[in-house]
Amino acid sequence: MRTLTLLSTGGTIATTAGEKGLSVAVGADDLLAAAERVWGSGGVRVQTRDVHRMVSFAESVGDVLALARAVREAARESDGVVVTHGTDTMEEAAFLVALTHDSPVPVAFTGAQRPFDDPAPDGPRNLAAALCWVGDPRAEGTGVGVVFDGNVVPAVGVRKVHTLGLDAFRAPGRASVASVDADGVRVHATAPKVPVLLDPDVEPPRVDVVAQYLGADATGVRASVAAGARGLVLSGFGAGNTTPDTTRACVELLGSGVPVGLASRVGAGPVSGLYADGGAELVRAGAVVMGDLSPWQSRLLLAAALTHTDPRGGVGELCRRWLESVGAVAGRD
Ligand SMILES: NC(=O)C[C@H](N)C(=O)O
């Protein structure tokens, strides 16, 4: 019989209503029992562990690294791993775990938009689908994904696309790997192989995201560096543009050896250095073009790359090769 591991971390899926608002009240065993009422136990054995009990907007990078270590352990002793997690930072947590995951054992993040005690909760069905996916032999070697509202989406490129709707996770411009319903799993596409870039025992350095908005000056850039950021990612306009003040400050930073990643605030599509005095200027100065990754995933990629001492061609080239291998930027040859 296949053995799966369910790791619970909290999130709305595990919350109930109280006087002050929703708070985490339920652990892995109760979540599993609710999921098994959806389609039964599926002939697999599921072992459970509560890693922590938090809403995901309160998690730190250190908390997610502790989760990555729990996933590593679980992958050694089971055929598939499911993580229940808050949706607010699921796209970052799943991505960070994907950067550390070096096993063919599939990992699925899932959660809910409605609390555990909602009269029509989505959590049990999402969890049932996630267990069904990682318990399917065709999931082996597909890495880390997010299973939500019946879709299986790879962690790389995934975004939360709705604040409250049930169909809350997509990777715009990328295919779903599979779908899951009461009939079982339908496989649609091959998941990209994700090269390991981060040791989960190593805390990466601080990398900040700097937002762009009409008339933004360079205060955010300067404040981040003053606060100790070893790299920055710009959440740029459109295909990756920045205000003149931001461009000037970042060109200066790049000149002094601080890596700057270029991403977009748009929500879909790749960035490209097109405009003089905007993205083109930054790319000429050596900014790392983050392809279609969100600023939040880009920031974790750059932080992970910075844990490597003197990588061949530098940190920017390490990111570029990684982005190319997961299909986030176009290949050179
Ligand atoms: N739907 C959710 O899970 C949102 C919740 N605030 C969380 O991220 O923990």
What ipTM is given for this predicted complex?
0.97
**How much is the average pLDDT of 19-41?**
97
Distance 52 CA to ligand 1 centre (A): 14
The pTM score is 0.97
- Cβ contact 125:118 at 8 Å: no
Residue 88 CA: nearest ligand 1 atom is 8
Q: What is the CA radius of gyration of the chain?
A: 20
Distance 202 CA to ligand 1 centre (A): 26
Could you say which of 9, 12, 100, 247 is catalytic? 12
Name residue 174's amino acid: R
Ligand 1 interacting residues, C-beta cut-off 6 A: 11-12, 55-57, 86-88, 111, 113
CB burial class (10 A; 0-12, 13-18, 19+) of residue 326? buried
Q: Which of 8, 51, 54, 57 to mutate to test the pocket of ligand 1 (most atoms within 8 A of CB)?
A: 57
Residues 232-262 pLDDT 10s: 999 999 999 999 999 999 999 999 999 999 9
Name every residue whose Cβ is closer than 8 Å to that of residue 185 and which is 6 or more positions away in sequence.
132, 133, 136, 138, 139, 178, 179
**How much is the average pLDDT of 288-302?**
98
Cα separation of 190 and 208, whole Å? 32
- Cβ contact 54:24 at 8 Å: yes
- Cβ contact 71:28 at 8 Å: no
Residue 12 CA: nearest ligand 1 atom is 3
Q: Is 87 a catalytic residue?
A: yes
Residues 55-112 pLDDT 10s: 999 999 999 999 999 999 999 999 999 999 999 999 999 999 999 999 999 999 999 9
- pLDDT band, residue 43 (cuts 50/70/90): confident
- pLDDT band, residue 42 (cuts 50/70/90): confident
Q: What is the predicted pLDDT for the residue at 312?
A: 86
Q: Which of 8, 9, 12 to mutate to test the pocket of ligand 1 (most atoms within 8 A of CB)?
A: 12
Q: What is the predicted pLDDT for the residue at 332?
A: 67
Domains in the chain (CATH in brackets) are 3-187 (3.40.50.1170), 207-325 (3.40.50.40)
